[in-house]
Amino acid sequence: MSDELYLVDGSAFIYRAFHAVGPLSNRDGLPTNAVFGFASMLRRLLKERQPTYLAVAFDSRGPGFRHELYRAYKANRPAMPDELACQIPYIKELVQALGLVSFEQPGVEADDLIASAVSRLDAAEHPIVIVSGDKDLLQLVNDRVTLWDPMSDKVMDRAAVAAKYQVEPELLLQSFALIGDSSDNVPGVPGVGPKTAGTLIRQYGSLEALYDQVDGLKQSKMKQNLLEHREQAFLSRDLIRLKHDCAVPPTIDGYRLGSSDQERLKGLYADLGFASLLKELDTARPLAGDDFHLVTSEHQLAELASILHQAEVLAIDTETTSLDSRTAGLVGISLCCGLPSCWYIPVGHRDRDGQPLSGQVSLEALRTMLQPVLQSKKLPKIGHNLKYDYTVLACALGVELKGPLIDTMIAAYLTEPARRSLKLDDLCREIDLKLTSYGEVTGGDKRQDAFAYVEPASACHYSCEDVYGTLALWEHLQPRLEEKDMGGLFHEIEMPLMPILAKMEMTGIKVDPARLEALAEEFREKLASLEQQIYQAAGHPFNINSPQQLGTVLFEELGLPHGKKTKTGYSTDGAVLEKLAVGHELPALIIEYRNLAKLLSTYVDKLKHLIHGDTGRVHTSFNQTVTATGRLSSSNPNLQNIPVRGEEGGRIREAFVAEAGKVFLFADYSQIDLRVLAHYSQDTALLKAFRQGEDIHTRTAAEIFGVSPLLITPEMRRVAKSINFGIVYGMSSFGLSNQLQISRAEAKKFIDRYFQLYAGVQRFMQEIVEQARRDGYVSTLLNRRRYLPEIKAADKVRREFAERAAINTPIQGTAADIIKLAMLRVNELLRDRDSQCRMLLQIHDELVFEVDESFCAAIKGDIRTCMEQALSLDVPLVVNMGEGRSLAK
């Protein structure tokens, strides 16, 4: 511990933290960046310096004595932003919870309190470190007092002050009086900077001595300024002079650190959403594991099975050899049917030579004794990322998990969709449970199958912790779901959907490797050709993939118009190249080259490695907890982003093929976003158009161009389509002008005409933004929530982004909920026809099925009916059907 006294300029660091840390907010929309930055600074100080004595000083609210001396003092400073003011109470609570001494006094600033503390304790010759970046506090530096700015990690002692200002710290006040301080609106003497002030004060020693001898200075502009602004100089000195008589602790013991209140800090960090700081608190309690049981024989397994038959709920966690749930080998399974009792059943542990360990249960015995429980339709099954366990049990054990399914990861996502982490360890830490990490139990073993080499007793404790934590987490999350009226969304949509997605992942989609090989060769030949064309257009070879070299060619050698040059060079992103391509062939060639190279690396080459040898199919992962709107996402590979437009994109889609004797059936919702918009807005014109089956883009084009629908050209319809969908995404006239390559004035005219036609849409947009500003969130028709804290932000960019999200989320989110409902209905339809028709993919508003050719005509109408009746809106849902032997249709 350090015996130095640390005096922290709290108010200065509040502002610095606010501006240094990017936008942050908690789940309720409270800005938190200043609190987080301030907490980070204090944590660094406490960790690195380990002080015994420390105090934090804060400015008082309102005007102080300096305002009485000079009404214009700090008059040029803007008022504290609301986004910062609302964080001040939390910062002060943080200081108290950390056990730190703090003080503030009406009418004075933090600098004065620090100066008073230095005066009281300097006589006792106690070493003091002032923690600040404020130069006014340099007046206090002496042989025992230094100033440390942790943000720049710069220390100012007596020598450093003298070197910078050419005077000793004792004379800084005189020097600063001449210099003034523009940030505080302290006038000083015009034209006198630090160097001149230092020279004058070093020569004369004080303002009084300078002015007593000012007539002796040679005639100059500086002398004239000194004479004309004499009163300003003395006023400035009074404003900069620090008070030394504030009420502060008179002895060093008054600054001693107290004990931090861990519970108070935990509550504060949890409220503010500081997950990283919560981890460091370590208030979570490790689980003793007194009631964790290792099952090592079939007899013990039979006893466990009899207990499980009486259970009312069952938490499950599987331990495996791989992150790929479809191919992973089962190492063990942990179960919990009521806290605190948990069981771990090892089945695949090995010794260091890879040989099976004794004292384990066979897979066959595990299947025989647990299958009735696992497949019970009445017993709820709980897991964290349960889709993984569902797939492991299906593929490695041959058991399909049934009954009401509950995934705590999805529950946590629904209650707080913007949370940074959905990991079980992090979520459990919030409810005071500390789980052993995977790295700890495996000893840092980096092998994919590392868990198989963990000693069963250690594996037992680790895995039982997971099911214990999962069940405890569900007890915490269940009431939150009900409070937010999302129980129905969770139990009736998200959870029934989970096993459907698991089966789609296991089924996969066939990919023709021969086509990919041919396509890869073709793309490489075309890239080589493009490369030569680019060199010819540039006049010489260069590294096409280097933005710096490309910038030099485009903007310096060819003289094309460019934006502002940055430290790394000119911007050559897609938007820049698109503009340049209108007037020169080289940018157009670069765009074509980049697009083709991305298709080759992201799809053609990657897909070849993702084809599973045993199935000949690609098995993507569908994610329910990624997007803010509730739409499903796809990963490894992302099959929702397979290119649609362009010849090359179509060629890639041709590589996805149906099995022999089968075809792909495509069922695509027609303009679902606009139909949801019509329902929400209740706009008369939109409702009428959809109810009468009109082409909404043609109708919009006819109105904004003022011509008959019969005269609408494809280009007119394209403009109308951009506006129709752009409105849903909150597109501005600027965005529309960029998309359509028209003037902003023309784009604004189109949007104005749109709102004249669909006045109800404009009203809806205004009302939903106001509702979001009032409630802090928006909801879909099925009560999915998205919290929008930035909608109250002072920053215009952040606020307008949140406003666009407020408009778009109910539309996109409801469309996402509708297609999930459709998947549930279609799944029921196909329950007994799985061999004839299987759901393979969900791509935005489209479902893709693989169907027996002979069965396609019979099932097509039933699928359409299921999807069109998924949810009742005030306009009809319409589904377009198509068939094809590849995804290229």
Contact indicator for 97, 255 with CB cutoff of 8 Å: no
Cα distance between residue 307 and residue 316, in whole Å: 15
Quick one: tokens of 246? 């504030």
Outline where DSSP puts E strands in 363-422: 381-383, 405-407
Element (H, E) at 163: helix 158-165
The pLDDT of residue 14: 92
- What amino acid occupies position 384? H
Going by their DSSP bridges, the two strands 330-338 and 341-346 should be labelled as: antiparallel
Q: Measure the CA–CA gap between 812 and 821, rounded to whole angstroms.
A: 14
Q: pLDDT band at 209, cuts 50/70/90?
A: confident
The helix (H) or strand (E) run that includes residue 428 is: helix 424-429
Helix, strand, or coil (residue 888): coil
Long-range (24+ apart) CB contacts under 8 A made by 569-574 are 571/547, 572/547
Most confident of 123-132, 278-287, 593-602: 593-602
Look up residue 588 and give its two tokens. 């157009």
| pLDDT band at residue 751 using 50, 70 and 90 as cut-offs | confident
Residue 397, CB half-sphere, CA atoms under 13 Å: how many? Answer: 32
Q: What is the pLDDT of residues 146-163, one digit of tens each?
A: 999 988 889 999 999 999
Percent of the chain with pLDDT over 70: 98
Give how far the C-alpha of residue 817 lies from the chain's centroid of Cα atoms, to the nearest Å.
22
Q: Is 612's pLDDT higher than 90?
A: yes
10 Å Cβ neighbour count for 102?
A: 17
Query: What's the Cα-to-Cα distance from 37 to each of 18, 56, 87, 94, 277, rounded to whole Å?
Result: 7, 15, 11, 12, 12
Question: Per-residue pLDDT for 250 more than 70?
Answer: yes
DSSP state of 248: -
Q: What is the pLDDT of residue 564?
A: 65
Distance CA 247, CA 233 (A): 29
Most confident among 143-152, 275-284, 576-585, 877-886 (mean pLDDT): 877-886
Confidence band of 744 (pLDDT split at 50, 70, 90): confident
Least confident of 13-17, 225-229, 764-768: 225-229
20 alpha carbon, distance to own chain's centre: 18
Which has more pLDDT, 889 or 666? 666
- pLDDT tens track for 75-90: 777 788 888 888 999 9
The mean-pLDDT minimum among 63-77, 104-118, 143-157 falls in: 63-77
Contact of 465 with 435, CB cutoff 8 Å: yes
**Is-contact 428 473, C-beta < 8 A?**
yes
Residue whose C-alpha is closest to residue 765's, from 802, 808, 726: 808
Distance CA 816, CA 185 (A): 56
pLDDT computed for residue 630 by the predictor: 94
Q: Which two tokens stand for residue 205?
A: 């020693």
Whole-angstrom distance, CA of residue 43 vs CA of residue 45: 5
Least confident of 51-55, 536-540, 651-655, 740-744: 740-744
Q: Which domains does the chain have, with CATH numbers?
A: 2-255 (3.40.50.1010), 285-483 (3.30.420.10), 512-610 (1.20.1060.10), 674-808 (1.10.150.20)
Res 567: pLDDT: 66
Residue 640 Cα to chain centre, angstroms: 21
pLDDT at 507: 96
457 has a pLDDT exceeding 80: yes
| Radius of gyration, CA atoms only, the chain | 35
Per the prediction, the chain carries an average pLDDT of 91
Q: What is the pLDDT of residues 438-453, one digit of tens each?
A: 999 999 899 999 999 9
Question: In the prediction, which pLDDT does 885 show?
Answer: 95
Give CA–CA dist 331/282, Å, rounded.
30
Task: Give the DSSP H or E segment for 438.
Answer: helix 438-442
Nearest to 768 by CA among 636, 677, 698, 703: 677
Across 139-264, the runs of DSSP E, i.e. the strands, are: 145-149, 154-156
User: Residue 26: pLDDT above 90?
Assistant: no
Per-position b or e across 523-535, b if 16+ CB within 10 A of its CB? beeeeeebeeebb
Measured from the Cβ of residue 174, the count of other Cβ atoms closer than 10 Å reads: 25
For residue 70, what pLDDT band results from cuts at 50, 70 and 90?
A: confident
Q: Which two tokens stand for residue 112?
A: 């004065």
Residue 356 three-state SS? strand
What whole-number percentage of the chain has pLDDT above 90? 63
Measured in Å, how far apart are the chain's first and last C-alpha atoms? 72
Whether residue 637 is preceded by a cis peptide bond, meaning omega within 30 degrees of 0, is yes
**Greater model confidence, 70 or 87:** 87
> What's the pLDDT score for residue 449?
95
Tallying the residues shown for the chain, one arrives at 889
Helix (H) or strand (E) run with residue 768 in it: helix 759-775
Alpha carbons within 13 A on the beta-carbon side of 552: 11
State the DSSP code for 870: S
The angle subtended at Cα 310 by Cα 309 and Cα 313, nearest 5°, is: 90
The region that residue 265 occupies, defined by phi over 0 for left and psi between -120 and 50 for alpha, beta otherwise, is alpha
Q: In the structure, what pLDDT confidence band is assigned to residue 619 with cuts at 50, 70 and 90? A: very high
* Most confident among 24-38, 55-69, 653-667 (mean pLDDT): 653-667
Render pLDDT for 366-400 as a digit per residue (tens, 0 to 9): 999 999 999 999 999 999 999 999 999 999 999 99
**Contact residues for 621 (Cβ-Cβ < 8 A; gap 6+):** 505, 634, 635, 636
Position 2 pLDDT exceeds 70? no
Instruction: Return the higher-pLDDT residue of 573 and 307.
Output: 307
563 pLDDT higher than 70: no
309-336 b/e (C-beta count within 10 Å ≥ 16 → b): eebebbbbbbbbbeebbbbbbbbbbbbb
Give the pLDDT confidence score for residue 124 in this predicted structure: 65
Residue 65 and residue 108: Cα distance in Å, rounded?
7
